[in-house]
Amino acid sequence: MRSTAIPVIALLALALTACSSPSTPTTASTASDEKPFDFVYIGGITGALASITAQEIVALNTAVDRINDGGGILGRKVVMETLDSKSDPTEAVTVLQKRISSGDKPDLVRAGLGTNDALALVPAATRAGIASYTSSSAPQLDDPKAYPYNIGISATFLRQVEMGRTYMEYKKYDHIAVLASEDAAGESAVDAIDTVYKGSSIKVDIFRYNPADLDLSVAYQRASAGKPDAIYANCLGAPCNRLVTARESVAGGTDIPMFGDISMAGSAGGPAAGAPASAIKNLHVLMWDDMLKHPASEQTEEFKAFYDGMSKSGTPTSTSAPGIAYDGLMMFAAAAKHAKSTDPAKMVQAIRDIKWPAGAFVTYGKAKLDYTEKSAFPTLPDDAFAVVQVAPLEGGQYPPVDVFQPKVKK
């Protein structure tokens, strides 16, 4: 089964309306009186990831409004529910199970913001036969046979670490120290780093830290003690800002270049938020294309619609996690239209069958992506990524300072 880009572009060009509140779905006069399409968002509305979650909900309300303004999903109005995982995987599964037992199963679940929640939620949603999507890059979830109703929106950790290695080789680093969190997300990152750097001439030392620690200077001191050429930081949310701040408390700490992964780049406000300007010296981050501030003339129409919707609730503090959340819901709406069904397996298959046109996704700008039968995650070209020197964000995006972006391989 194949598709032209026409139905996808038609859906992604729906008129944008005002954002609804997180608890009040948009009402669309064009949607029928059929049973609503139940979309459940599970994320850390409270807890360590609350600031990022708040931005995701704004983005999802934008997507809900656009879809409902265009007639809903196969004539069914999209109704979004928000459930608080408190940024805790056990709580995430508990609230999902309570939601399932309370009535009809949801049609689609946004399975957590971070890897820890996703690793708990995706198996639970799969057992219940519910379609899901996640921004997690954990390779454990890259198993279409085990999780046939789940789709990843971002690239796997392996793909991200490959891009990190490309940058390290470009900088001619011989020795790096890795700071990874002591949780499932950190374990996934370390596994990917071990795989990607195996056989490399670059020496890699791994150091773990507790993301709950308020003072991460000891962890940073341990990583910097061996005088590496650079420190590779894996983090999400508030620990990212604490790692950046810790650099100043260690003698010569900011003299060592730090490279943050996409999770660090996507922290609300960026890793520079709340940190003194001197702490971001020699700090670069890997990011998706949408996180880099482009001139208006270079922005895709889809990005403009997304950003305008986000801006109705105030200046965005990040475009990374919100963009992925938005893209996922829009993707499933397009897939249901293509498949003429909201059956979980048929929607996921349609996502793989559709030939997604360049510019269809907020997250990846003008880069194209594809899904294959063998992976739950998209195949992304090099120009979907960029490495940028950290500076205070401008409207939730990074100003283009010292940009490194590999050319697409022909």
Average pLDDT, the chain: 88
In terms of phi and psi (left: phi > 0; alpha: psi -120 to 50; beta: otherwise), the region of 402 is left
CATH topology for 6-156+297-382 is Rossmann fold (3.40.50)
Report which of 271, 237, 311, 329 is spatially closest to residue 52, judged by C-alpha positions: 237
d(CA 121, CA 117): 6
Tens digit of each residue's pLDDT (9 = 90 or more) over 243-262: 999 999 999 999 999 999 99
CA distances for 274 relative to 49, 245, 279, 284, 385, angstroms = 16, 8, 10, 17, 26
What lies within 8 Å, CB to CB, of 153 at 6+ separation is 133, 134, 135, 324, 327, 328, 331, 363, 378
pLDDT of residue 21: 33
Which residue pairs, CB below 8 angstroms and at least 24 apart, start in 219-224?
219/179, 219/243, 219/246, 220/179, 220/246, 220/247, 220/249, 220/250, 220/253, 221/250, 221/253, 223/177, 223/178, 223/179, 224/177, 224/250, 224/252, 224/253, 224/256
Tens digit of each residue's pLDDT (9 = 90 or more) over 149-199: 999 998 888 899 999 999 999 999 999 999 999 998 899 889 999 999 999
Query: Tokens 């639970």 — which residue?
Result: 124
Pairwise pLDDT comparison (135 vs 255), residue with the higher score: 255
Report which of 232, 155, 235 is spatially closest to residue 194, judged by C-alpha positions: 232
Beta-bridge mates of residue 359: none
Residue 341 has pLDDT above 80, yes or no: yes
Report which of 390, 5, 388 is spatially closest to residue 167, judged by C-alpha positions: 388
d(CA 16, CA 87): 31
The CATH architecture of the domain made up of 157-293+385-389 is: 3-Layer(aba) Sandwich (3.40)
Residue 10 has pLDDT above 60, yes or no: no
Out of 33-37, 231-235, 322-326, pick the least confident.
Answer: 33-37
Mean pLDDT (whole number) for 281-289: 93
d(CA 218, CA 243): 10
CA distances for 130 relative to 88, 105, 141, angstroms = 21, 7, 15
Half-sphere exposure of 337 (CA within 13 A, CB side): 23
Residue 9 has pLDDT above 90, yes or no: no
Tens digit of each residue's pLDDT (9 = 90 or more) over 21-79: 333 333 333 444 579 999 999 999 998 888 889 999 999 999 999 999 999 999 999 99
Residue 370 DSSP one-character state: B
Domain ranges across the chain: 6-156+297-382, 157-293+385-389
Same fold, 6-156+297-382 and 157-293+385-389: yes
Tell me how far the alpha carbon of residue 69 is from its chain's centroid.
25
d(CA 43, CA 56): 9
CA distances for 123 relative to 89, 150, 183, angstroms = 12, 9, 18
Half-sphere exposure of 393 (CA within 13 A, CB side): 24
Pairing of strands 37-43, 108-111: parallel
Residue 91 has pLDDT above 60, yes or no: yes
Rg (CA), the chain: 20
d(CA 154, CA 242): 25
Are residues 75 and 32 in contact, defined by beta-carbon separation less than 8 angstroms? Answer: yes
pLDDT of residue 33: 56
Residue 140 has pLDDT above 70, yes or no: yes
